Chain A
Amino acid sequence: MIYLDYAATTPVDARVLDAMTPYFADSFGNPSSVHRFGQRAEAAVESARETVASALHCRPDEIIFTSCGSESDNLALRGAMMFGLQNDRPWLLTSRAEHHAVSKTAEQLEKYYGVQVEWLPVDAHGMVTPETMRRAVCDGTALASVMLANNEIGTINPVAALASICRERGILFHTDAVQAAAYLDVDVTQLGVDMLSLGGHKFYGPKGVGALYVKKGTRLVPHTTGGGQEFGLRAGTQNVSYIVGFAEALRLTVQEREGRVAHVQPLRDQIIGRVLEEIPDAQLTGHPENRLPNHASFVFKDADGNLLLQLLDAAGFACSSGSACKTGNPEPSEVIAALGLSRDWALGSLRITLGKDSTPEQINSFLNLLPSLVEKSRALR
């Protein structure tokens, strides 16, 4: 099997696993405990926090560890909007191209909590433009949330420009950088954001751990209450070994980022070039240039995307689609729908995402096979 779904998740780097191992059974203490078991665990968590802070160019006390990227998004949106509601700022700006961790949270905040959501339109590449943001912001806006890079279509948003528009109006800006962090610089000072979400398993760390950068002075209402862990913003005993793994994975990612980008980008360009050249009725989804260097995504007219994934799997290639659905219920994803594609295109989506272990040989054999499988998936539809 050849794995071409690194945007879904990545294997844990062996060096990361090594860093984590001591914190399961040996240094197993609770970081909140007074004794030396606790002290050793606390030291591990705080050292991890420093590592993450240095990767993001922020202060350690601006890093909140969570259980995943989705939880980070939830804390950002719920935390900021609860506070916004109390201060006559009920408006939340976000787009339909966001990950469900953001869009479903926005929907729930609207339905049950009285938050007003304005859905920012995206352009044909799935991008939120500064003009759009400028038109949407108002005095009642508490928070805008726009992802750094889109998981389904790879498009990179002009986050620094968007954040600056919000900053001028005193509006908080959150970005979901879960998909971006593996390949893009997540320097929060450059981006100028107030909050930024990360998930460990997208960059060779473990699943089940994430982080939220919260700029000093940002007021959030915590949604998990209990002990005072994580500066009172996220109660619960810290997942020490996973936090250590998260930090080590992020450290390695920043350290090796340049090499990883240089490795995947030519392979990605080869995929995009050959698919568009060799497969009739194929379109790239997302932005042609401003996209993640490991990310190629397409729609094929009149093809059955779900079936195409099954054909690829049976042939030994693990890929994904915009409407990835293991239950065989083919509905185009909201992201694909937001691009304005008609149904005969939108149901035939395919995402190929590369990783540091992808090889030119793998891509070549994939590209040699793909045209015939797209044809098959069209014939059976």
Chain B
Amino acid sequence: MPKIAVAMSGGVDSSVAAALLKQQGYDVIGMMLRLWSEPGKEDSNRCCTPDSMAQARRVAAKLDIPFYVVDAKNVFRETVVQYFLDGYARGETPNPCLLCNRQIRWTFLLDHALALGADFMATGHYARTTKDESGKVKLLRAVDESKDQSYILHVLTQEKLQRALFPVGDYPKTEIRRIAESFGLPTASRADSQDLCFLASEDYRNFLARNAPEINQPGDIETTDGRIIGQHTGLANYTIGQRKGLGLASPVPLFVITKRSADNTLVVGTADELGFAELVARDVNWVSGTAPSAPFRTLVKIRYTARAVPAEVAPEDGNRVHVKFDAPARDVTAGQAAVFYVGEEVLGGGIVV
């Protein structure tokens, strides 16, 4: 019987993932990452508080599976947190969860799982996979669209997907809770917050102020036609499309259009200037392992919570793509991912430049 490591969080989804695999007769081991927190804030880390670790340990005991905590503090600080700080320094709105999934969960933890003799690694993500005739793994949306997490998983290479299992992706969330009850597992899920684990429920701006005060300096606010109309408090404090809190006196509502890090300028404009007809994405991962040879029509999702919108995607050299939207898309944000869907299948995605 194959051995499967389950990345556990103490929450209902990964607990049920482990329970389902155990019930199917697999040799299951529970694993959990210990991630980095700011000193003194370990109890508030959204992913690995002592509480959630104790909970995961109890679930493992209940399922009678071994449970191992893997320390990833240093590697998390050096890669994910650094990426977060560097992103803001470049004027982007970085999505460190993407990097965490690629580098920490699906590299660092997977390597540990394989060393422990695991053949596969499962998580409590809401997504599905299927194999085509040639043995390639396809990444699909979850059955429960409202919980779908395939967006974040587009970073997985074909090699990783060959090892990946998402047992809860085949069920609606309500069913997962029911299964948890039937196994006598805890049914609480972590708050569906999009806060980053290491922010400890705090505003990211406070974190930046403490950890990289130099990257967030005041500067000019400019209109799209080049008039300086005010001062901003630091580019990292604003997001694309933001309207409130700009402190501008203007007869028409003004929105953040772009953040120009080269001269530390916040560019604002009216609602009809907000849309982007196109974008370029870098570091594109193609789930199949090979980039398409020609432009193709697809649906593109530019944020975790955004609706996928129709566009044409043209692959370019150097792992980049050029995306032309059918209708201008709002809130295109550098540092977030653009992910390409055909039907329920994830083709791949990259980081918006």
Q: How far is the CB of B36 from chain A (nearest CB, A)?
A: 11
A179 is an interface residue with CB less than 8 A from chain B: no
Q: Residue-by-residue, is A319-343 near B (CB-CB < 8 Å gives 1, otherwise 0)?
A: 0000000111110000000000000
Per the 8 Å Cβ criterion, residues 332-381 of A in contact with B are 376, 379-380
List the B side residues contacting A376 at CB < 8 Å.
115
Are A306's CB and B29's CB within 8 A? no
List the A side residues contacting B34 at CB < 8 Å.
327-329
Give B contacts to A, CB under 8 Å.
29, 32, 34, 50, 53, 57, 66, 68-71, 73, 111-112, 115-117
Task: Choose from B29, B53, B115 the contact partner of A380 (Cβ within 8 Å).
Answer: B115
Q: How far is the CB of A230 from chain B (nearest CB, A)?
A: 34
List the B side residues contacting A326 at CB < 8 Å.
57, 69
List the A side residues contacting B117 at CB < 8 Å.
314-315
Are A314's CB and B66's CB within 8 A? yes
A307 is an interface residue with CB less than 8 A from chain B: yes
List the A side residues contacting B70 at CB < 8 Å.
307, 310, 328
B74 (CB) vs chain A CBs: closest residue: A330
**Closest CB pairs A-B (n = 7):** A328-B69, A328-B34, A328-B71, A310-B68, A314-B116, A376-B115, A330-B71
A269 is an interface residue with CB less than 8 A from chain B: no
Question: Could you show 29 A-B contacts with beta carbons less than 8 Å apart?
Answer: A306-B71, A307-B70, A307-B112, A310-B68, A310-B70, A310-B112, A310-B116, A311-B116, A313-B68, A314-B66, A314-B68, A314-B117, A315-B117, A326-B69, A327-B34, A327-B53, A327-B69, A328-B32, A328-B34, A328-B70, A328-B71, A329-B34, A329-B71, A329-B73, A330-B71, A376-B115, A379-B115, A380-B111, A380-B115
List the A side residues contacting B112 at CB < 8 Å.
307, 310, 380
Which of B34, B71, B112 is most buried by chain A, counting CB atoms within 10 A of its CB? Answer: B71
Bound: A306/B71 CA distance, A: 9
Which of A307, A315, A379 is most buried by chain B, counting CB atoms within 10 A of its CB? Answer: A307
List the B side residues contacting A315 at CB < 8 Å.
117
Are A327's CB and B50's CB within 8 A? yes
List the A side residues contacting B68 at CB < 8 Å.
310, 313-314, 328
Which of A306, A326, A327 is most buried by chain B, counting CB atoms within 10 A of its CB? Answer: A327
Bound: A213/B69 CA distance, A: 39
Are A314's CB and B29's CB within 8 A? yes
Which of B29, B50, B70, B115 is most buried by chain A, counting CB atoms within 10 A of its CB? Answer: B115
Q: How far is the CB of B170 from chain A (nearest CB, A)?
A: 28
B29 (CB) vs chain A CBs: closest residue: A314
Q: Residue-by-residue, is A258-281 near B (CB-CB < 8 Å gives 1, otherwise 0)?
A: 000000000000000000000000
